[in-house]
């Protein structure tokens, strides 16, 4: 049987992928496929469409590494093998951008020649033979308008498609389909620029889907990682949801099948109304141990012509499946490394080899790095803590972090551990929790796993710890740990029955520590921003000249910039909004401009107002936040300006990635700025008219300003790309 197979001879090829990242290629050989529940369901929905021709939308959702892209490749191959007429199937990896970018990628995937040939076929089917080229184009345009009425009411689309088959207007027509303004030839034909380019891009995709579905018997489009578009600027607004709903609608009307794939958050990003328009939902399923054995045999059959399980065994495949929770990408990567190790050692795969491979492949962070993350979270949240605190006797191990509940004797422990891969390790952690609670009954214990924690062991540990262990993930760890510590300390307060006065005092002290830490962070950020600005200026003399010009004057006039007008205007509006809402820059200028009558009158009011406000440490901190935000916006503008000067002509993908990094840098720094402190500057803030604003108006202004600062990078990127 499998468990007693002899080890195979050393083969020159490893039959498993080292990355286990699926890629969809035209005409390429499919990777080894094990038919899971998810694949069976998805193929059944596809077969139903190929048989009936009823268009619609199928959603495929699953976490990273669960096989969504591999499933997409299976659907494409199955559609192309369809026996019911001709089937056109296209795969698109959605960009982390806009629907316009998606439409451009869609058009590029089809190619101009293919779309022109598609339209030319419609012209060839015409029974009438007009005598002039103009008459032929007009007749084709009218036919297309009638044909496309199901998905668009824009008559310009038919006109542009008809002009696509004329060599004289082909390039201009293609540019319009790609979302660019109409050229002179199109304008003379009555084609105007689209008022909503994003919605127009969605309609363009629907139009082509309709033409393709009518030309072929069936048309299938797979949009992979669509959640990237919906989550680019946070939760999508009403316009984005409406456009996505329109995308679903036009594909349904075109009689095409739209398959959208993404993370589970994809469905949560949509409104209930949009979710109702999506048809079947396929959720990726974990592999079973039998699936893993089938996969190993099929992989070796493809590579060596022999379907064997060795060097794996039934027992090691069971163990491997449990440790990885059946996640395909984890399993395939481990199969690669375990096969390599077994071939080198000339042995079968053992349980110990599996554990070692898991630790090497999944323990990406070190305990020291995670301990530093814990320190940062506790410091930012204002908690006092002790490192390597001894609880109980000297025989006991110290806890990594101890967060005391002041004089009440209770507190919260944070324990760090590496991957938990054996039942004995679970037992040891459970014994440690019992020892801690025996020494300090009024205590909470939070377990942080640096590495991998199988679901089975996570459930066992949750029962003992009373809190679900936190598996370190760089993206979510700070939020997860902060929430767990707050909840644990709140439970301790309720258990110990702390009086209201003590609780208030503790919270005030923690807030004071948070403010102190935030002030230090702002000072560090300010220093770093000064360094960044220096690095972005290649000419020191030019930078000196720029520094002599008031940054406020630049913001208000938009001078001294190579950026396009609408891009510069985004930065100008952001700085002007900050100046208006804080009022500090204006009061400071007014206090030193007594020469003119009106400013003189106001300067007598500005100076005392500034002196009064600056007595408050809270106002000082808020002004520090405003200053750092202002410098951040200016540094961001200079970085984008330098990028634009160097890459505005036909930027390559690497250039666009550089622009993305600039935007991510702004977002990453702005995320840590305590913008809520700016509310303290209401007394200094003045509207443009110089008179105090009503409280309601001020609240609305702050809401709009926060939205402007939070969404600045997205606005800038869109305007730069469209320029």
Of 632, 666, 625, 623, give the one whose Cα is nearest residue 531: 632
pLDDT at residue 716 tops 60: yes
- φ, ψ for residue 293 (rounded to 5)? -65, -40
pLDDT at residue 598 tops 50: no
Contact 409, 442 (CB under 8 A): yes
pLDDT at residue 153 tops 50: yes
Contact 579, 563 (CB under 8 A): no
Q: Quote the pLDDT of residue 311.
A: 94
Q: Quote the pLDDT of residue 316.
A: 93
Between the alpha carbon of residue 546 and those of residues 342, 538, 540, 569, 588, the distances in Å are 64, 13, 10, 19, 21
Q: Quote the pLDDT of residue 425.
A: 92
User: For the chain, what's the residue count?
Assistant: 723
Contacts for 599 with CB less than 8 Å, ≥ 6 apart: 590, 593
Tell me the C-alpha distance between 660 and 654, whole Å. 10
SS (H, E, C) 669-709: HHCCCCHHHHHHHCCCCCCCCCCCCCHHHHHHHHHHHHHHH
Q: Quote the pLDDT of residue 143.
A: 81
Contact 242, 277 (CB under 8 A): no
Lowest mean pLDDT across 133-137, 437-441, 600-604 = 600-604
pLDDT at residue 525 tops 80: no
Contact 659, 720 (CB under 8 A): yes
pLDDT at residue 61 tops 80: yes
Q: Quote the pLDDT of residue 715.
A: 80
Confidence of residue 46 (pLDDT cuts 50, 70, 90): very high
Of the CA atoms within 13 Å of residue 54, those in its CB half-sphere come to 6
Burial of 353 (0-12, 13-18, 19+ CB in 10 A): buried
Q: Look up tokens 């590494």; give the residue.
A: 65
Using one digit for the tens of pLDDT, what is the confidence trace for 143-152? 888 878 777 8
Confidence of residue 509 (pLDDT cuts 50, 70, 90): low
| H-helix or E-strand spanning residue 480 | helix 477-496
Q: Quote the pLDDT of residue 59.
A: 92
Confidence of residue 534 (pLDDT cuts 50, 70, 90): low
- φ, ψ for residue 648 (rounded to 5)? -70, -25
Tell me the C-alpha distance between 334 and 322, whole Å. 13
Confidence of residue 517 (pLDDT cuts 50, 70, 90): low
Q: Which of 73-82, 138-147, 180-189, 504-513 has the highest mean pLDDT?
A: 180-189
Q: Quote the pLDDT of residue 294.
A: 93
Tell me the C-alpha distance between 195 and 193, whole Å. 6
Confidence of residue 117 (pLDDT cuts 50, 70, 90): confident
Average pLDDT over residues 463-491: 87
Look at 30 and 502; give whichever has higher pLDDT.
30
Q: Quote the pLDDT of residue 558.
A: 41
Contacts for 72 with CB less than 8 Å, ≥ 6 apart: 22, 24, 60, 91, 222, 224, 259, 261
Using one digit for the tens of pLDDT, what is the confidence trace for 159-214? 899 888 888 889 999 999 998 889 898 999 888 888 888 888 888 888 888 888 77
pTM over 0.85: no
pLDDT at residue 282 tops 90: yes
Q: Ramachandran region of residue 388, left (φ > 0), alpha (ψ -120 to 50) or beta?
A: left
Lowest mean pLDDT across 83-92, 211-220, 307-316, 457-466 = 83-92
Q: Look up tokens 């006039």; give the residue.
A: 557
Confidence of residue 416 (pLDDT cuts 50, 70, 90): very high
Lowest mean pLDDT across 35-39, 443-447, 590-594, 630-634 = 590-594
Using one digit for the tens of pLDDT, what is the confidence trace for 233-254? 445 566 777 888 888 888 888 8
As a whole number, the mean pLDDT across the chain is 77
- Token duo for residue 590: 């007014």
Confidence of residue 520 (pLDDT cuts 50, 70, 90): low
pLDDT at residue 105 tops 80: yes
- Token duo for residue 526: 């300010």
Sequence-separated contacts (24+) of 34-39 with Cβ below 8 Å: 34/287, 34/291, 34/294, 34/295, 34/298, 36/67, 36/285, 36/287, 36/291, 37/285, 38/62, 38/67, 38/71, 38/282, 38/283, 38/284, 38/285, 39/71, 39/74
Q: Quote the pLDDT of residue 449.
A: 92
Q: Quote the pLDDT of residue 125.
A: 65
Q: Quote the pLDDT of residue 615.
A: 55
pLDDT at residue 10 tops 50: no
Q: Quote the pLDDT of residue 631.
A: 86
Between the alpha carbon of residue 678 and those of residues 88, 177, 692, the distances in Å are 56, 45, 17
Tell me the C-alpha distance between 332 and 34, whole Å. 12
pLDDT at residue 437 tops 50: yes
Average pLDDT over residues 53-65: 89
Tell me the C-alpha distance between 699 and 707, whole Å. 13
Alpha helices in 309-380 (DSSP H): 314-324, 328-345, 351-362, 367-380
Tell me the C-alpha distance between 334 and 16, whole Å. 9
Look at 136 and 25; give whichever has higher pLDDT.
136
Lowest mean pLDDT across 482-496, 600-614, 704-718 = 600-614
Of 34, 454, 63, 46, give the one whose Cα is nearest residue 283: 63
Tell me the C-alpha distance between 577 and 116, whole Å. 48
Q: Quote the pLDDT of residue 42.
A: 92
pLDDT at residue 540 tops 60: no
Look at 58 and 686; give whichever has higher pLDDT.
58
- Token duo for residue 162: 């008809």
Using one digit for the tens of pLDDT, what is the confidence trace for 17-29? 887 777 666 555 5
Given the DSSP bridges, would you call strands 281-283 and 56-61 parallel, antiparallel or unpaired?
Answer: parallel
Q: Quote the pLDDT of residue 546.
A: 40
Look at 593 and 17; give whichever has higher pLDDT.
17
Tell me the C-alpha distance between 683 and 620, whole Å. 13
Lowest mean pLDDT across 14-18, 465-469, 635-639, 672-676 = 672-676
pLDDT at residue 274 tops 70: yes
Furthest-apart CA atoms within the chain: distance in Å = 102
Sequence-separated contacts (24+) of 373-380 with Cβ below 8 Å: 373/472, 373/477, 373/478, 373/481, 374/400, 374/401, 374/414, 374/416, 374/448, 374/481, 375/401, 376/478, 377/477, 377/478, 377/481, 377/482, 377/485, 378/403, 378/485, 379/517, 380/514, 380/517, 380/518, 380/521
Task: Give the number of other Cβ atoms within 10 Å of residue 487's Cβ.
Answer: 14
Confidence of residue 122 (pLDDT cuts 50, 70, 90): confident
Contacts for 342 with CB less than 8 Å, ≥ 6 apart: 7, 311, 348, 349, 353
């Amino acid at each position: 049987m499998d468990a007693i197979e002899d080890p195979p001879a050393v083969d020159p090829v490893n039959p498993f992928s080292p990355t286990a990242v699926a890629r969809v290629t035209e005409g390429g050989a499919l990777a080894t496929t094990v038919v899971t529940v998810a694949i069976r369901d998805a193929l059944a929905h596809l077969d139903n469409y190929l048989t009936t021709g009823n268009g619609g939308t199928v959603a495929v959702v699953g976490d990273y590494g669960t096989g969504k892209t591999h499933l997409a490749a299976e659907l494409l191959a199955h559609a192309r093998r369809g026996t019911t007429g001709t089937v056109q199937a296209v795969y698109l990896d959605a960009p982390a951008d806009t629907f316009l970018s998606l439409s451009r990628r869609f058009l590029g995937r089809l190619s101009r020649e293919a779309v022109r040939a598609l339209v030319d076929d419609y012209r060839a089917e015409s029974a009438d033979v007009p005598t002039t080229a103009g008459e032929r184009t007009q007749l084709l345009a009218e036919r297309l308008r009638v044909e496309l009425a199901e998905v668009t009411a824009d008559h310009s689309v038919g006109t542009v498609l008809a002009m696509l088959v004329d060599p004289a207007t082909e390039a201009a027509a293609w540019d319009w389909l790609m979302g660019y303004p109409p050229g002179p030839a199109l304008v003379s034909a009555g084609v105007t620029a689209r008022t909503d380019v994003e919605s127009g891009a969605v309609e363009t995709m629907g139009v082509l889907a309709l033409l393709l579905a009518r030309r072929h018997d069936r048309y299938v489009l797979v949009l992979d990682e669509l959640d990237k578009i919906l989550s680019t600027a946070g939760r999508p607004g009403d316009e984005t949801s409406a456009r996505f709903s329109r995308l679903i609608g036009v594909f349904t009307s075109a009689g095409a099948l739209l398959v959208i794939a993404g993370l589970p958050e994809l469905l949560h990003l949509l409104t209930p109304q949009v979710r109702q328009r999506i048809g079947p939902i396929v959720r990726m399923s974990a592999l079973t141990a039998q699936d893993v054995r089938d996969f190993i045999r099929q992989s070796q059959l493809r590579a060596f012509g022999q379907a064997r399980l060795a060097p794996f065994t039934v027992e090691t495949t069971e163990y491997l499946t449990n440790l990885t929770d059946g996640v395909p990408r984890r399993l395939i990567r481990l199969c690669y490394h375990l096969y390599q190790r077994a071939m080198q050692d000339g042995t079968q795969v053992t349980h110990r080899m599996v554990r070692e491979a898991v630790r090497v492949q999944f323990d990406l962070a070190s305990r020291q790095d995670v301990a530093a993350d814990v320190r940062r979270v506790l410091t930012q949240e204002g908690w006092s803590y002790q490192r390597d605190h001894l609880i109980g006797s000297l025989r006991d191990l110290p806890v990594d972090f101890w967060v005391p509940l002041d004089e009440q004797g209770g507190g919260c422990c944070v324990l760090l551990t590496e991957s938990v891969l054996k039942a004995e390790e679970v037992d040891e952690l459970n014994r440690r929790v019992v020892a801690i609670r025996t020494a300090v009954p009024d205590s909470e214990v939070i377990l942080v796993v640096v590495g991998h924690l199988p679901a089975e062991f996570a459930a066992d540990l949750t029962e003992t710890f009373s809190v679900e262990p936190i598996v370190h993930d760089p993206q979510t760890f700070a939020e997860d740990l902060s929430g767990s510590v707050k909840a644990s300390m709140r439970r301790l307060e309720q258990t110990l029955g702390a009086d209201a006065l003590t609780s208030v005092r503790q919270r005030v002290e923690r807030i004071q520590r948070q403010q102190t830490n935030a002030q230090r962070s702002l000072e560090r950020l300010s220093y770093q921003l000064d360094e960044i600005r220096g690095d972005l200026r290649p000419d020191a003399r030019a930078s000196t000249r720029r520094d002599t010009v008031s940054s406020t004057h630049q913001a208000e006039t938009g001078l001294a910039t190579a950026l396009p007008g609408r891009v510069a205007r985004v930065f100008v509006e952001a700085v002007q909004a900050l100046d208006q809402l804080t009022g500090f820059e204006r009061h400071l200028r007014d206090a030193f401009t007594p020469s003119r009558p009106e400013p003189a009158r106001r300067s007598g009011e500005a100076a005392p107002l500034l002196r009064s406000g600056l007595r408050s440490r809270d106002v000082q901190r808020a002004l520090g936040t405003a200053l750092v935000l202002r410098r951040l916006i200016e540094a961001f503008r200079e970085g984008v300006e330098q990028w634009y000067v160097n890459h505005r002509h036909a930027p390559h993908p690497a250039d666009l990635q550089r622009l993305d990094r600039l935007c991510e840098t702004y977002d990453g720094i702005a995320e840590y700025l305590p913008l809520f402190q700016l509310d303290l500057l209401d007394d200094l803030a003045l509207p443009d008219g110089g008179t105090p604003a009503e409280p309601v108006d001020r609240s609305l202004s702050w809401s709009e300003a926060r939205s402007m600062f939070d969404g600045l990078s997205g606005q800038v990127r869109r305007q730069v790309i469209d320029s």
